[in-house]
Amino acid sequence: MFNYALDELCAWIEGNGWSEVALQFPEGVKSQAQGIIDALTERTDASFIILGDPCYGACDLHQGFENYAEALVQFGHSPIPSMQVGTNVRFVEMRADIGLGDLLLDALPLLGDRVGLLATLQYLDLLPQAATFLKAQGRDAVIGVGDRRITYPGQVLGCNHTSAESVASAVDGFLYIGEGNFHALAAALGSGKSVLVLDPVRGEVRDMEAYRDRLLRQRFGAITQATDADVFVVIVSGKIGQRRLDKAEEAISLIKSKGRRAYKLVLEEISPAALLHYKADAFVNTACPRVSIDDAGLYKRPMLTIPELQIALGERDWDDYVFDVIEG
């Protein structure tokens, strides 16, 4: 279903004369890694090595790849423009080879007059078709431009909805094209507007409101639980595209200003096992904010985002809840 544009990748490898190339794959593509290597080996003189640690986004760029290879190829993600990488790094984007069928007709009665269009990387090619359809139906269709963490107009990351934010005041709600709830939730939490998901794989249209409200109730519970916390462990990511040391320092200053204790912890992978040994009443996560939001059930103690810490410590009102955007 996905197009990997392997011809362009082979031309890049051969053009640069790379003989050892390291490959990173997102979890959903790892089962195809060996087939992709077979195809690349047939068409180039290079040899390939899989870097098999989890790779959730471009933010997960392997920082030690030059110990194993001359070049690095990461599949499934677009580059993060604000993240500096060498010329020996290439991102191979995947675009879905799929149409929208009658899903736009199904979505039409659920949309307002002014619609913002969003998609995840794999489905960006479907945005022009959706815009043309909506305009033919007399609706306004706009596609926003995000900050420097976002590569393409209309693109949403799980940690960055700025392409939605840029047009939020000009639309009644958003139509998001993609699978699952992960990216759509960033738009729903971040923009505060209604987000309708058009899922070309499941062939369904669904509203994000109930899911967003359920998660917000969970976040309220975590914040309330952390209000009286005395000891906080503030997590900083070791990953290049998630590292927010400045935000961690701000969080620690805030915690200490309230007479509480704070410890800074650097982790590559955040997991219950990695936190087991630390005494903490609550964690503050300055890495991928979705660890706090989507994985909250894995942790016995509250795992707050930065704005959630501000609410817990009385520096921000619950009514002013904001999504923790990693800015570009």
State the angle between helix axes of 33-43 and 6-16 in degrees (0 to 180), rounded to the nearest 10.
Answer: 50
Residue 283's nearest CA partner among 258, 259, 308 is 308
Query: Using CB under 6 A, which of the segments 105-113, 129-137, 152-160, 195-203 binds ligand SF4?
Result: 152-160
Q: Which of 94, 159, 252, 262 binds ligand SF4 (CB under 6 A)?
A: 159
Is 158 one of the binding residues for ligand SF4 (CB under 6 A)? Answer: yes
> Who's near 87: CB < 8 A, 6+ residues apart?
none
Is 13 one of the binding residues for ligand SF4 (CB under 6 A)? Answer: no
Is 126 one of the binding residues for ligand SF4 (CB under 6 A)? Answer: no
Residues 290-309 touching ligand SF4, rule: CB under 6 A, are 290
DSSP string over 304-315: E-HHHHHHHTTS
Bridge partners, residue 71, by sequence: 21
Residue 252's nearest CA partner among 284, 207, 300 is 284
Q: Give, in degrees to the nearest 5, the angle at Cα 183 between 178 and 184.
A: 75
- Read off the tokens for 198: 């058009």
Q: Which of 22, 103, 288, 325 binds ligand SF4 (CB under 6 A)?
A: 288
Is 91 one of the binding residues for ligand SF4 (CB under 6 A)? Answer: no
- Read off the tokens for 243: 């590292």
**Site mask, ligand SF4, residues 187-226, x = CB under 6 A?**
----------------------------------------
158: Cα within 13 Å, side-chain hemisphere = 19
- Read off the tokens for 207: 């509203």
Identify whether the C-beta of residue 144 lies closer than 8 Å to the C-beta of residue 153.
Answer: yes
Is 157 one of the binding residues for ligand SF4 (CB under 6 A)? Answer: yes
Query: Using CB under 6 A, which of the segments 52-60, 138-146, 166-174, 264-272 binds ligand SF4?
Result: 52-60
Is 115 one of the binding residues for ligand SF4 (CB under 6 A)? Answer: no
Identify whether the C-beta of residue 162 lies closer than 8 Å to the C-beta of residue 182.
Answer: no
Query: Using CB under 6 A, which of the segments 151-159, 200-208, 273-281, 307-315 binds ligand SF4?
Result: 151-159
Is 141 one of the binding residues for ligand SF4 (CB under 6 A)? Answer: no
* Rounded Cα distance, 196 and 205, in Å: 7
Is 76 one of the binding residues for ligand SF4 (CB under 6 A)? Answer: no
Choice between 22 and 159, CB closer to ligand SF4: 159
CB of 296 to ligand SF4, least distance (A): 15
**CA end-to-end distance (rounded Å), the chain:** 30
Place of tokens 């930065």: 306
DSSP-assigned letter for residue 65: G
Is 144 one of the binding residues for ligand SF4 (CB under 6 A)? Answer: no
**Site mask, ligand SF4, residues 253-282, x = CB under 6 A?**
------------------------------
Is 175 one of the binding residues for ligand SF4 (CB under 6 A)? Answer: no
Choice between 178 and 241, CB closer to ligand SF4: 241
Residues near ligand SF4 (CB under 6 A) are: 56-57, 59, 157-159, 241-242, 288, 290, 326
